[in-house]
């Protein structure tokens, strides 16, 4: 049984897809007010973070795909509006961020264990923008690669949300970063966010520049969100004992035979690992959330908001992301 604080039911506005495809499949629709069941909380949404993965869901290229029709969105921030009777760790009006599902809406129903309490000192747009990107960066650097001060990390999409998070967290840990970007404008931005070196891969020879930057040693870790053909270059960039952490498919399916590639580089002791944020055990996740909230509150990290766009215009947000024009994060406002 759920406790609700509505005087009467309202219509919820949401972005829904009936089928996969281009921007025109995004529909701004009315849905019935969701009522919390056991373990659930209803959030009045303040800010919605747009992720590249949202565009992959829209195209039908994400795994796992939601059942259609589906409301898009994986993270948001807002205020607790209603909650099930078995929920005692949250209260009406409380500020929260959510890593969940169906976040492209002005009200979102979420499992209580997907919510993050947000202190008053933290901006709600930043609260929506930080969870997926900063937790991904944090766990790849610390939990997975265990990068040490003085080591070097190469990061794809250095001007994107994860790229910004990698730069800022690495700077705090005295880790050297080399960012890859596609334009000079993004290169300047990425360096301003904290990357020590930035390479415009459309103008420069990446292998040559990385060898110059590292005095021929190569990098210790590569954070690869692109896949496709990129791994054939990555193995040329790694130092002995180096590893690639593969966490996305922005460029398409992997086109490298990893068994063959590792056989060729066998004597260098190289490795490839995959990373999926929701595989991180809950106790480790909770500890990292606490660390990152403290960083946010003390302004040691700060998500960069590229643009705020009305929820009804979500198609424009997707167009901007797919054009490659964006830096940092786009926020949708209900």
Flag whether pLDDT at 2 surpasses 60. no
The enclosing domain of 12 has a CATH number of 3.90.180.10
Percent of the chain with pLDDT over 70: 97
Flag whether pLDDT at 8 surpasses 60. no
> 197 and 96 share a domain?
no
> 145 and 51 share a domain?
no
> 44 and 126 share a domain?
yes
Flag whether pLDDT at 6 surpasses 90. no
Least confident window among 7-11, 35-39, 45-49, 104-108: 7-11
> 180 and 316 share a domain?
no
pLDDT digits (tens, 9 = 90+) for 213-255: 999 999 999 999 987 788 889 999 999 999 999 998 877 777 7
122 inside domain: yes
> 154 and 273 share a domain?
yes
> 89 and 163 share a domain?
no
pLDDT digits (tens, 9 = 90+) for 249-293: 877 777 777 777 777 777 788 889 999 999 999 999 999 999 999
Mean pLDDT for the stretch of residues 287-303: 97
Q: What sign does the dihedral 41-46-51-53 (CA atoms) show?
A: positive
> 177 and 258 share a domain?
yes
Mean pLDDT for the stretch of residues 82-87: 93
Question: Could you tell me which residue, 11 or 114, shows the higher pLDDT?
Answer: 114
Q: How many domains does the chain have?
A: 2
Percent of the chain with pLDDT over 90: 84
> 154 and 122 share a domain?
no
> 21 and 102 share a domain?
yes
The rounded distance, in Å, linking the Cα atoms of 327 and 306 is: 6
> 268 and 176 share a domain?
yes
Task: Compute how many other C-beta atoms are within 10 angstroms of the C-beta atom of residue 148.
Answer: 10
Tell me, what's the pLDDT at 9? 66
213 inside domain: yes
294 inside domain: no
The enclosing domain of 182 has a CATH number of 3.40.50.720
> 19 and 92 share a domain?
yes
Terminal CA-to-CA distance of the chain, rounded, Å?
28
Please name the residue ranges forming H helices in 3-81.
Answer: 52-59
320 inside domain: yes
Flag whether pLDDT at 196 surpasses 90. yes
285 inside domain: no
Tell me, what's the pLDDT at 231? 82
Average pLDDT score, the chain: 93
Residues of the domain holding 29 = 2-130+303-333
pTM of the model: 0.93
260-265: Cβ within 8 A, 24+ apart: 261/231, 261/232, 261/235, 264/235, 265/235, 265/238
Measured N-to-C along each axis, helices 52-59 and 314-323 cross at an angle, to the nearest 10 degrees, of 100
> 268 and 324 share a domain?
no
């Amino acid at each position: 049984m759920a406790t609700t604080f509505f005087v009467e039911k309202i219509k919820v506005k949401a972005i829904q897809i009936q089928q996969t495809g281009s921007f025109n499949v995004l529909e701004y629709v009315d849905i019935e007010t969701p009522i919390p069941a056991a373990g659930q909380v209803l959030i009045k949404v303040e800010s919605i973070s747009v992720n590249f993965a949202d565009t992959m869901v829209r195209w039908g290229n994400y795994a796992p795909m939601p059942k259609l029709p589906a409301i898009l969105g994986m993270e948001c921030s807002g205020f607790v509006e209603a909650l099930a009777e078995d929920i005692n760790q949250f209260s009406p009006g409380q500020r929260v961020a959510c890593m969940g599902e169906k976040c492209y809406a002005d009200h979102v129903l979420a499992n209580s264990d997907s919510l993050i309490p947000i202190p008053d000192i933290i901006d709600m747009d930043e609260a929506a923008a930080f969870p997926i990107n900063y937790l991904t960066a944090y766990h790849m650097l610390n939990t997975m690669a265990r990068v040490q001060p003085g080591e070097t990390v190469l990061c794809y999409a250095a001007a994107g949300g994860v790229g910004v998070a990698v730069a800022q967290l690495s700077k705090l840990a005295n880790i050297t970063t080399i960012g890859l970007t596609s334009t000079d404008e993004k290169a300047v931005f990425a360096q301003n966010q904290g990357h020590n070196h930035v390479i415009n891969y459309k103008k420069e020879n990446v292998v040559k520049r990385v060898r110059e930057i590292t005095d021929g040693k190569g990098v210790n870790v590569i954070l690869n969100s692109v896949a496709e053909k990129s791994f054939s270059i990555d193995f040329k960039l790694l130092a002995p004992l180096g590893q690639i952490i593969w966490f996305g498919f922005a460029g398409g399916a992997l086109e490298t035979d990893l068994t063959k590639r590792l056989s060729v580089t066998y004597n260098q002791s190289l490795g490839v690992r995959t990373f999926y944020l929701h595989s991180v055990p809950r106790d480790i996740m909770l500890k990292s959330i606490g660390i990152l909230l403290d960083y946010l509150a003390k302004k040691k990290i700060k998500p960069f908001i590229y643009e705020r766009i009305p929820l009804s215009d979500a198609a424009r947000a997707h167009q901007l992301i797919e054009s490659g024009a964006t830096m940092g994060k786009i926020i949708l406002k209900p």
